[in-house]
Amino acid sequence: TASAAPRDPATLATSAPERTDAYWMPFTANRQFKAEPRLLASAEGMYYRSVDGREILDGTAGLWCCNAGHARPQIVAAIQRQAATLDFAPSFQMGHPLPFVLAERLAALAPAPLQHVFYTNSGSESVDTALKIALAYHRVRGEGQRTRLIGREKGYHGVGFGGISVGGLANNRKFFGALLPGVDHLPHTLDLRRNAFSRGLPKHGAELADELERLVALHDASTIAAVIVEPIAGSAGVILPPEGYLQRLREICTKHGILLIFDEVITGFGRVGDCFAAQRFGVVPDMITTAKGLSNGAAPMGAVFVSQAIHEAFMNGPEGAIELFHGYTYSGHPLACAAALATLDVYAEENLFAAAHELGDYWEERIHALQGLPNVIDIRNYGLVGAVELAARPDAPGSRGYEVFKRAFHEQNLMVRCTGDTIALSPPLILNREHIDRIFDRLGATIRATA
Ligand code: PLP
């Protein structure tokens, strides 16, 4: 029943809502969730607190985004200060100082040629922005016939029409019509026959990159604008690039004048031990798409990093001409910029990008100790990313993963992700060995209990 007096906003945010009908939840089985909700009320450091008062260990940095942990006072203060100083400023033919300051900071963190930054509000927008920049780049250079985009099977590049077109997950594509024309896909690199339980990067499979040569032979390089891949595919269940695979993709793209885009929405900002996977793997793409860890999840923000060469191609037209007809009302939003600047400070002051190096071995040891538990058919890890793949029930694929996810939350106070029957982990980079022990003790107990 609706109470006569409105509840105060603080209580609204920390207690279960009276009604759940109106909210259509994203990527969620709404009816199942609403029958047994999992609601978070507050967060600090490595932990969430649920509305029923339990402390939940965060094994996923929220949704791969809170790399510096939760409610960091510096970030909170920066957002509060900015909201009271300049809440909003248009970014079209206008500006405010922070996006300029932030772009210089970001450019200094990126691989050398990627010195220009275009702001978005999400990973999906970053992907669609990068695809549009790729098409427009070829066009401004007089190669407008390069319109084909190449993604990869099992790829996840957000939910815009560009992103689902180059993406490779059937459920995200099949309901939405014909999608973008002229898209093709590389094969994915998940090969459990040869690489099950391999630690770090798989040894086998670099030759899968040569499939790009096959697509070039089929379509001709003169029709292909760009290739987009996640260096480590996250949403499909943590799929790693075989050793040498990304290097090979880079060589083939360079040889044929095709742009290479790394979607680093989850690998960016320290997840694999450097700011970007591009640096960790020693492969420099032409663009990098980011979001999530950029602002520690504390404000919606994304960014596309663009190479000097691409940027210069746009800067040759008439002085007064708009170089790119693209952008968002909230591109470079003051609150998001403030959050991102404070986030970069925390990353630097606490040297958090090194955490995946320092803790990566222990993380690997602990996650692989789950081998042998019931239904565990593969374990994958790199940096502070991990996945435990469970055997699918033939009659109900995905149900085993969901069961582990749900019971970990309710019975073990542990937050993990499930994508199908794979349990994915990506903790805040502030964790220590005890947190790692707790994560895998609780996950192991859940897998046993679920068997
Ligand atoms: N690209 C990758 C690699 C992602 O993992 C995600 C989200 O998980 C996205 C794009 C989409 O980001 P967003 O949900 O912020 O639109």
The CATH number of the domain holding residue 406 is 3.90.1150.10
Specify whether the CB–CB gap between 253 and 212 falls below 8 A.
yes
Question: Which among 349, 383, 399 is the end of a domain?
Answer: 349
Number of folded domains that form the chain: 2
CA dist 342 → 83, 89, 139, 295, 326 (Å):
14, 19, 38, 8, 27
Whether residue 151 is found in the same domain as residue 172: yes
Neighbours of 183 (CB within 10 A): 17
Specify whether the CB–CB gap between 388 and 360 falls below 8 A.
no
Instruction: Check if 439 has its Cβ closer than 6 Å to any atom of ligand 1.
Output: no
Specify whether the CB–CB gap between 147 and 182 falls below 8 A.
yes
Query: What is the rounded distance in angstroms from the CA atom of residue 448 to the CA atom of residue 404?
Result: 9
Instruction: Check if 234 has its Cβ closer than 6 Å to any atom of ligand 1.
Output: yes
Would residue 13 count as lying in a domain? yes
Would residue 114 count as lying in a domain? yes
Whether residue 235 is found in the same domain as residue 325: yes
pLDDT, residue 2, reads: 46
Q: What is the DSSP pairing of strand 414-415 with strand 55-58?
A: parallel
Closest CA to 353 of 60, 147, 109: 109
Whether residue 277 is found in the same domain as residue 425: no
Instruction: Check if 154 has its Cβ closer than 6 Å to any atom of ligand 1.
Output: no
Neighbours of 410 (CB within 10 A): 16
Residue with token string 């019931």: 374
Would residue 3 count as lying in a domain? no
Query: What is the rounded distance in angstroms from the CA atom of residue 395 to the CA atom of residue 421?
Result: 13
Whether residue 133 is found in the same domain as residue 45: no
CA dist 9 → 13, 15, 375 (Å):
6, 10, 45
Query: What is the rounded distance in angstroms from the CA atom of residue 221 to the CA atom of residue 30?
Result: 44
Instruction: Check if 291 has its Cβ closer than 6 Å to any atom of ligand 1.
Output: yes
Sequence letter at residue 305 = F
Would residue 252 count as lying in a domain? yes
> Which parts of the chain register pLDDT below 70?
1-6
Question: Which among 325, 349, 373 is the end of a domain?
Answer: 349
The distance of Cα 442 from the centroid of its chain, to the nearest Å, equals 25
Would residue 2 count as lying in a domain? no
CATH number (domain holding residue 137):
3.40.640.10
Whether residue 337 is found in the same domain as residue 370: no
Specify whether the CB–CB gap between 102 and 78 falls below 8 A.
no
Would residue 4 count as lying in a domain? no
Would residue 99 count as lying in a domain? yes
Instruction: Check if 239 has its Cβ closer than 6 Å to any atom of ligand 1.
Output: no
Cα 124 to averaged position of ligand 1 atoms, centre (Å):
6
Whether residue 50 is found in the same domain as residue 131: no
Cα 126 to averaged position of ligand 1 atoms, centre (Å):
9
Residue among 120, 161, 188, 265 whose CB has most ligand 1 atoms within 8 A, to mutate: 265
Question: Which among 349, 364, 398 is the end of a domain?
Answer: 349
Query: What residue owns the CA closest to ligand 1's atom 12?
Result: 123
Query: What is the rounded distance in angstroms from the CA atom of residue 377 to the CA atom of residue 390?
Result: 5
Ligand 1 atom nearest residue 289's Cα: 1
Query: What is the rounded distance in angstroms from the CA atom of residue 278 to the CA atom of residue 264?
Result: 9
CA dist 49 → 32, 336, 423 (Å):
22, 24, 21
Instruction: Check if 164 has its Cβ closer than 6 Å to any atom of ligand 1.
Output: no
Whether residue 239 is found in the same domain as residue 334: yes
Ligand 1 atom nearest residue 264's Cα: 3
Both ends of the chain: CA-CA distance in Å? Answer: 41
pLDDT, residue 6, reads: 66
Sequence letter at residue 276 = F
Whether residue 279 is found in the same domain as residue 184: yes
Specify whether the CB–CB gap between 278 and 112 falls below 8 A.
no
pLDDT, residue 271, reads: 97
Specify whether the CB–CB gap between 420 and 401 falls below 8 A.
yes
Instruction: Check if 158 has its Cβ closer than 6 Å to any atom of ligand 1.
Output: yes
Query: What is the rounded distance in angstroms from the CA atom of residue 447 to the CA atom of residue 451?
Result: 6
Phi, psi torsion values for 203, nearest 5 degrees: -80, -30
Ligand 1 atom nearest residue 292's Cα: 15
Residue among 266, 289, 328 whose CB has most ligand 1 atoms within 8 A, to mutate: 266
Whether residue 98 is found in the same domain as residue 29: no
Specify whether the CB–CB gap between 186 and 212 falls below 8 A.
yes
DSSP tag of 230? -
Would residue 1 count as lying in a domain? no
Query: What is the rounded distance in angstroms from the CA atom of residue 171 to the CA atom of residue 230?
Result: 18
| Cβ neighbours for 294, distance < 8 A, ≥ 6 positions apart | 106, 268, 269, 301, 302, 303, 340, 343
Specify whether the CB–CB gap between 111 and 278 falls below 8 A.
yes
Instruction: Check if 127 has its Cβ closer than 6 Å to any atom of ligand 1.
Output: yes
pLDDT, residue 1, reads: 41
Instruction: Check if 122 has its Cβ closer than 6 Å to any atom of ligand 1.
Output: yes
Instruction: Check if 156 has its Cβ closer than 6 Å to any atom of ligand 1.
Output: yes
Q: 393: domain range? A: 9-68+352-450
Cα 317 to averaged position of ligand 1 atoms, centre (Å):
33
What does the longest C-alpha to C-alpha distance in the chain come to? 70
Instruction: Check if 295 has its Cβ closer than 6 Å to any atom of ligand 1.
Output: no
Q: Name the pTM for this structure.
A: 0.97
Name residue 423's beta-bridge partners: 388, 418
Residue with token string 């670099």: 206
320: tokens are: 């007064």
Asked casually if ipTM beats, i.e. exceeds, 0.85, the reply is yes
Whether residue 322 is found in the same domain as residue 369: no
Task: State pLDDT tens for residues 46-74.
Answer: 999 999 999 999 999 999 999 999 999 99
Specify whether the CB–CB gap between 163 and 183 falls below 8 A.
no
Ligand 1 atom nearest residue 160's Cα: 16
Instruction: Check if 230 has its Cβ closer than 6 Å to any atom of ligand 1.
Output: yes
Whether residue 248 is found in the same domain as residue 302: yes
Instruction: Check if 123 has its Cβ closer than 6 Å to any atom of ligand 1.
Output: yes
Cα 154 to averaged position of ligand 1 atoms, centre (Å):
13
Specify whether the CB–CB gap between 41 and 55 falls below 8 A.
no
Residue 136: its H or E element: helix 123-140
Whether residue 33 is found in the same domain as residue 84: no
Residue among 27, 124, 126, 287 whose CB has most ligand 1 atoms within 8 A, to mutate: 124
pLDDT, residue 342, reads: 99
Specify whether the CB–CB gap between 370 and 379 falls below 8 A.
yes
